[in-house]
Chains A and B, each alone.
Chain A
Amino acid sequence: MSFFGIGQGADISIELSDSEKRKKVEVKNEEGKKDKLPLYLDGETVSGRVQINLKGKKLEHQGIRVEFVGQIEMFYDRGNHHDFLSLVRQLAPPGELNQSTTYPFEFLHVDKPHETYTGTNVRLRYFVRVVIIRRISDIVKELDVAVHTLSSYPDIINSLKMEVGIEDCLHIEFEYNKSKYHLRDVVVGKIYFLLVRIKIKHMEIAIIKKETTGTPPNVYTENEQVAKYEIMDGAPVRGESIPIRLFLSGYELTPTMREVNKKFSCRYYLNLVLVDEEERRYFKQQEIILYRKGDAKSARKATAKE
């Protein structure tokens, strides 16, 4: 922006290398809209070029630098950003720019320990920032990138199995095939009725997302029902089994995040809800771990880069 010739004397544009080939993913931004951002993985090199287009004849500056930043931003505490990652490269020493210039930059094998996340109260983002330091006001340009963390859990299948109920009223046994699911997995399970003395109308399974931010005693918890899925209609009797098959790929989910930099957590729960004829609700919540599975291709790419 330049008003009456004062203000910024240059335009900065940042271009990442292999930006055409690189995969893009949708990431929600602050306003809740979705941006397509280039995707990076942990350990990958971030490189590219910075182009500075002069608007005037020359530009005096106290130095030009490029940064790669990983940042956690609390929405209730806007002024206070928390950088968990900050790499800086000096592009030019203090001096004068007489013409439009291009600088290459490279951050080799950057550790990106966390996944990009936009929640209700918190945002975790990565970006490249170019700063032209000037005496009065710096010229700053930021370019967001997305980061995914991949994990491969050992395929030890320990199922979640439990008997729950209300004494002398309703006893059920439920079972989910795993306790850890990847984001495009299928929850396969069953409900077995041991005792039914209430008039059940239907049963549903819900995925609940719990976002916890802040440190005690100032903890904010946001619950969001991500999915609701009916698995039974009508009243069952003793000995009946109800099958469950819930495809996770249909919902907007992120991996489970625990105590990210001691700032926030995002956890997922399966909530089994039975509703009786008088609309009373009986439920049991069970935490499940969600993770992002690396497909063979991207895993190979990540190792090749190292």
Chain B
Amino acid sequence: MADGKSGATGSTPETSIKRLDFKKQTLDDAYAVPANLLEIEVSNPETHGLARTRYTDYEVKMKTNIPVFKIKESSVRRRYRDFEWLKKELERDSKIVVPQLPGKAVKRQLPFRGDDGIFDDDFIEERRKGLEEFLNKVAGHPLAQNERCLHMFLQEPIIDKNYVPGKVRVNN
């Protein structure tokens, strides 16, 4: 020990059980719903279109009580390239390190495969999980929550790619 003093300890019985005064928590606070509810689910993959314009989209369902989000419960449909757009927007505007997306499947788009390529069920399920994880990480980030692109992605039915980037303020 750096201090080799014998006998002189600061932990006298008085200080070793000492506590600072506490404000008592009100029962309303104790039993209220926590103010940090944020659940995002990516589900229901559906494949649309025909032949070369076939693509899969997913339902993005969200439930929250955080005031910065205008709508408390929303559901929109998004495809992989929308997630890529969101990632790009966040990387440009916010100062956060955006997590990785579940990789692009270039190889799976080559013809003459043994399975269904990018429409294979296992692949879609794996990608769905990855996207869900990505969204939950991003949406929970305090700095990302201020970005308009995130709100548009989660809550507006159609993404307007010519939107004006900016911050969202809480008005409570």
Residues of A within 8 A of B (CB): 23-26, 39, 166, 168-170, 175, 177, 181-186, 188-190, 192, 195-199, 235, 237-241, 243, 245, 247-249, 252-254, 276-278, 280, 292-293, 295-298
| Binary interface encoding of chain B residues 17-49 relative to chain A, with 1 for a CB under 8 A from any of its CBs, else 0 | 011101101100110101110100000000000
Question: In the bound complex, do residue B23 and residue A241 qualify as a contact, i.e. CB atoms below 8 Å apart?
Answer: yes
Knowing that A177-B18, A197-B35 touch, tell me 7 more A-B residue pairs with CB under 8 angstroms.
Answer: A183-B2, A185-B10, A186-B15, A190-B20, A198-B36, A198-B142, A247-B10
Question: In the bound complex, do residue B10 and residue A248 qualify as a contact, i.e. CB atoms below 8 Å apart?
Answer: yes
Tell me whether A241 and B25 are in contact in the complex, defined as CB-CB below 8 angstroms, given that A186-B18, A197-B35, A295-B8 are known contacts: yes
Question: In the bound complex, do residue A188 and residue B18 qualify as a contact, i.e. CB atoms below 8 Å apart?
Answer: yes
Question: In the bound complex, do residue B140 and residue A249 qualify as a contact, i.e. CB atoms below 8 Å apart?
Answer: no
Question: In the bound complex, do residue B5 and residue A186 qualify as a contact, i.e. CB atoms below 8 Å apart?
Answer: no
Chain A residues within an 8 Å CB radius of B9: 184, 249
Interchain CB contact (< 8 A) of A175 among B20, B32, B140: B20
Chain B residues within an 8 Å CB radius of A177: 18, 20
Chain A residues within an 8 Å CB radius of B32: 237-238
Total chain B interface residues with beta-carbon distance under 8 A: 36
B98 to chain A, nearest CB (A): 12
Interchain CB contact (< 8 A) of A292 among B3, B25, B137: B3
Interchain CB contact (< 8 A) of B10 among A170, A175, A186, A297: A186
Question: In the bound complex, do residue B140 and residue A198 qualify as a contact, i.e. CB atoms below 8 Å apart?
Answer: yes
Chain A residues within an 8 Å CB radius of B170: 168
Question: In the bound complex, do residue A195 and residue B25 qualify as a contact, i.e. CB atoms below 8 Å apart?
Answer: no
Interchain CB contact (< 8 A) of B1 among A168, A252, A293: A252
Question: In the bound complex, do residue A197 and residue B66 qualify as a contact, i.e. CB atoms below 8 Å apart?
Answer: yes
Determine the residue in chain B with the shortest Cβ distance to A254.
B2
Cβ of B111 < 8 Å from any Cβ of A?
no
Question: In the bound complex, do residue B23 and residue A192 qualify as a contact, i.e. CB atoms below 8 Å apart?
Answer: yes
14 A-B pairs within 8 Å (CB atoms) are namely: A169-B145, A170-B142, A185-B15, A186-B10, A188-B19, A188-B20, A199-B36, A237-B30, A239-B25, A239-B26, A249-B1, A249-B9, A295-B5, A297-B7
Cβ of B67 < 8 Å from any Cβ of A?
yes
Residues 149 to 166 of chain B near chain A (Cβ within 8 Å): none
Question: In the bound complex, do residue B141 and residue A280 qualify as a contact, i.e. CB atoms below 8 Å apart?
Answer: yes
Determine the residue in chain B with the shortest Cβ distance to A150.
B5
Tell me whether A237 and B34 are in contact in the complex, defined as CB-CB below 8 angstroms, given that A177-B20, A186-B18, A245-B19 are known contacts: yes
